């Protein structure tokens, strides 16, 4: 279990899986840094964390902005002197057939879902290496393993996450930095329409958050490389 000094940085923390993960880790004893674009929503999450006895800081951040990401990491280290876990959760999704897709949607998904987490991870690693420990968690998707019609851009971005994570795992092992990929099935969040969540089996965001908490709670000599979690009745 983490000490009360440990710090977790969570992106996409204004709602959904990011919010649930921030609450989960705060309950587990982490001081949490909440990053997303929507400051008002982040402050609501922080208020909830602190009302439950946790410690939270709000840092509005667009993960596609390299300077903003560097400021996020620098401010965290300046205040607390460490980063014990980074949960790369920020993501966007659009679904269209390839012949009808907007290339700008593809670009946005790659920039947020893939390049954003690559940039944040790169910024945080020197602190983790200096500490001699750390955890990097990537919230990927079942679609990293199995593509679906209409999901070309999203599936490609998430497959890229898995490839990046595996390379990092091999590079960071000697530095005592663990790398975990969480691959959820369909989750009931803002990314899904009401029609989709009404027709398809979904996970609650808290289910994904518990998976993150499980991975981080393992003894330091145990690394949970991948967790694939789906609704029991999800067939694919």
Active-site annotation, residues? 154
Q: Is the separation of the CB atoms in 26 and 51 below 8 Å? A: no
Q: Is the dihedral of CA 92, 154, 204, 33 positive or negative?
A: negative
Q: Which two tokens stand for residue 101?
A: 């897709």
State both tokens at 159: 């497959």
Helices then strands, each counted (H, E), the chain:
8, 7
Distance (Å, rounded) from C-alpha 85 to C-alpha 98? 36
Q: The tokens of 38 are what?
A: 């929507």
Question: How far is 113 from 158, CA to CA, in rounded Å?
Answer: 7
Report CA torsion sign: 14, 86, 204, 53. Answer: negative
First to last CA, the chain: 34
């Amino acid at each position: 279990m983490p000490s009360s000094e440990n710090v977790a940085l969570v992106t996409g923390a204004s709602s959904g899986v990011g919010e649930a993960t921030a609450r989960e880790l705060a309950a587990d004893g982490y001081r949490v840094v909440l990053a997303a674009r929507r400051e008002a929503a982040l402050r609501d999450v922080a208020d909830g964390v602190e009302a439950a006895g946790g410690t939270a800081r709000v840092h509005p951040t667009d993960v596609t902005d390299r300077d903003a990401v560097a400021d996020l990491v620098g401010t965290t280290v300046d205040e607390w002197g460490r980063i014990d876990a980074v949960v790369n959760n920020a993501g966007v999704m659009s679904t269209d057939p390839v012949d009808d897709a907007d290339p700008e949607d593809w670009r946005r998904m790659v920039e947020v879902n893939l390049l954003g987490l690559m940039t944040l991870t790169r910024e945080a690693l020197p602190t983790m290496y200096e500490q001699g420990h750390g955890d990097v968690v990537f919230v990927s998707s079942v679609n990293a393993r199995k593509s679906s019609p209409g999901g070309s851009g999203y599936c490609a971005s998430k497959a890229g996450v898995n490839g990046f994570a595996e390379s990092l795992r091999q590079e960071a092992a000697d530095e005592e930095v663990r790398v975990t990929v969480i691959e959820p099935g369909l989750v009931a969040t803002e990314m899904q329409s009401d029609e989709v969540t009404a027709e398809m089996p979904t996970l609650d965001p808290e289910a994904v958050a518990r998976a993150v908490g499980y991975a981080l709670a393992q003894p330091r000599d145990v690394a949970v490389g991948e967790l694939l979690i789906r609704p029991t009745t999800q067939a694919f």
